[in-house]
Structure formats: C-alpha cells, structure tokens
C-alpha cells in the first residue's frame, strides 16, 4: 500500500513532469527555479507520488503534490506532505505556503490554514505560481512548522 512506501529525494526528470501533468499540475515554471527540491515515492520502479518545496530562505512554497490516481486515498499524499514538512524543518524553514485549486480540504486536515493572498510574504508573492500561474480564485494556505 502507498502508506508504507519509502520517500526519497528525486530529480525533476521527465517521469516526474509526466506525473505532475497527468494530475493537471503546473510544470511550466519548474526549470526556471533554482531552489526546488522534490521528494518522491516509487512502486515497482515507477514514480507514483511526488511533492516539492520551492525555498526562499526561511519560508517555502509547498507545491507539485501529486499521487497517481489509482493510489489515492491510501495515505500517500499525507505521508508525502509530512515528509516535506520534516525536510523543510531540518533545512531551517519555519513557514510553508501553498496555492491549491483542488485540495483545500485535504490541506485543512493536515492543519494548513487559509490566508488572504495580500498577507503573503513578498518572496512568495513573487513566485510564478502566485503572481501569474495560479488563478486568483486558488486557495492560499499556510502552516507554521
Ligand atoms: C490531493 C492528493 C495529493 C491527495 O493524495 P491522497 O494520497 O489521495 O491523500 P491521502 O490518502 O493521504 O488523504 C489524507 C486525507 O485527506 C483526504 N483527502 C484526500 N484528497 C482529498 C481532497 N481532494 N479533498 C478533500 N479531502 C481529501 C482523505 O480522505 C484523507 O482523509 P482521512 O485521513 O480523514 O481519511 C491527490 O488527490 C492528488 O494527487 N490530486 C491531484 C493533484 C492535486 O490536486 N494536488 C494538490 C495540488 S497543491
């Protein structure tokens, strides 16, 4: 089951981009950023789950969370977020921010809180996701680590 799968650092290679695209997530800004970290989970040699951190000093955007459709509901999404949070913490990141069109309730369950976009730190406002790629109607959420 997904929940027992190991999670490790992964590169933003074609397999990762394809998984994100198959989950309708943005990939257009991925090669542009130089502070992106991805963590993934494999089943039978195939990447089935991924989560990313886009870091700006003590804050980061949690992004690119995707679980293969056939494995959803088994706890892998929760495990990936938990892994990214503990990696972020060990990197000295104190606050995570995210934008989502589809998973607000999922993140609420994981103790993320809704925030007004105007209250975003400047570095987060300047990200491509925040400023141009995600619609103004996307939920903006944060969690203190
Ligand atoms: C969002 C996503 C990553 C969740 O992954 P998952 O492996 O199915 O999630 P989990 O099994 O760990 O679910 C954890 C909890 O959230 C709930 N949940 C999962 N997806 C949810 C959603 N979209 N809305 C509301 N609740 C959700 C589960 O029921 C579970 O609740 P429980 O602990 O009370 O049983 C997955 O649905 C996905 O890849 N979606 C497409 C891409 C996407 O929307 N990514 C987020 C962009 S930021």
Is the distance from the beta carbon of residue 47 to the nearest atom of ligand 1 less than 6 Å? no
Tell me the three state secondary structure of residue 101: coil
Residue extents of the structural domains in the chain: 2-144
Tell whether ligand 1 has an atom less than 6 A from the beta carbon of residue 132: no
Angle at alpha carbon of residue 109, lines to 104 and 115, rounded to 5°: 50
Give the Cα separation of 15 and 116 in Å (integer): 34
Does residue 41 have its Cβ closer than 6 Å to ligand 1? no
pLDDT of 1 strictly over 60: no
- Minimum CA distance residue for ligand 1 atom 1: 103
Mean pLDDT calculated for residue range 131-145: 90
Q: How far is it, in rounded angstroms, from Cα 140 to Cα 118? A: 10
Q: What is the dihedral of CA 107, 113, 26, 1, to 10 degrees?
A: -10
pLDDT digits (tens, 9 = 90+) for 34-85: 789 999 999 999 999 999 999 999 999 999 999 999 999 999 999 999 999 9
Predicted pLDDT of residue 130: 87
**C-alpha dist (Å) from residue 9 to 50, 65, 73, 79:** 9, 14, 23, 14
**Ligand 1 neighbourhood includes 74 CB (under 6 angstroms):** yes
Query: For residues 33 and 44, what is the distance between their CA atoms, to the nearest angstrom?
Result: 30
This prediction's pTM = 0.93
Q: Which of 72, 76, 84, 108 to mutate to test the pocket of ligand 1 (most atoms within 8 A of CB)?
A: 72
Distance, in Å, from the CA atom of 2 to the CA atom of 119, rounded to the nearest integer, reads 35
Neighbours of 23 (CB within 10 A): 17
C-alpha 35 to ligand 1 mean position (Å): 25
Q: What is the CATH number of domain 2-144?
A: 3.40.630.30
pLDDT of residue 33: 67
| pLDDT over 70 at 2, yes or no | no
Q: Which structure tokens are listed for 44?
A: 């039978």
pLDDT over 60 at 32, yes or no = yes
Ligand 1 close to Cβ of residue 82 (< 6 A): no
3-class secondary structure per residue, 40-108: EEEECCEEEEEEEEEEECCEEEEEEEEECHHHCCCCHHHHHHHHHHHHHHHCCCCEEEEEECCCHHHHH
Ligand 1 and 106: CB distance under 6 A: yes
**pLDDT tens by residue, 103-126:** 999 999 999 999 999 999 999 999
78 lines ligand 1 (CB under 6 A): yes
Q: How confident is the model at residue 136 (pLDDT cuts 50, 70, 90)?
A: confident
């Amino acid at each position: 089951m997904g929940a027992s799968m190991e999670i490790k650092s992964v590169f933003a290679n074609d397999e990762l981009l394809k998984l994100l695209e198959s989950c309708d997530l943005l990939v257009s800004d991925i090669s542009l950023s130089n502070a992106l970290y991805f963590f993934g989970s494999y089943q039978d040699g195939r990447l089935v789950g991924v989560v990313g951190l886009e870091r700006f000093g003590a804050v980061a955007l949690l992004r690119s969370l995707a679980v293969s459709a056939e494995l959803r509901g088994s706890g892998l999404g929760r495990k990936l977020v938990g892994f990214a949070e503990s990696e972020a913490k060990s990197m000295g990141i104190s606050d995570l921010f995210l934008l989502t069109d589809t998973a607000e309730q999922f993140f609420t369950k994981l103790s993320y809180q809704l925030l007004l976009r105007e209250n975003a730190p400047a570095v987060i406002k300047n990200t491509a996701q925040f400023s141009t790629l995600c619609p103004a109607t996307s939920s903006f959420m944060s969690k203190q680590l």
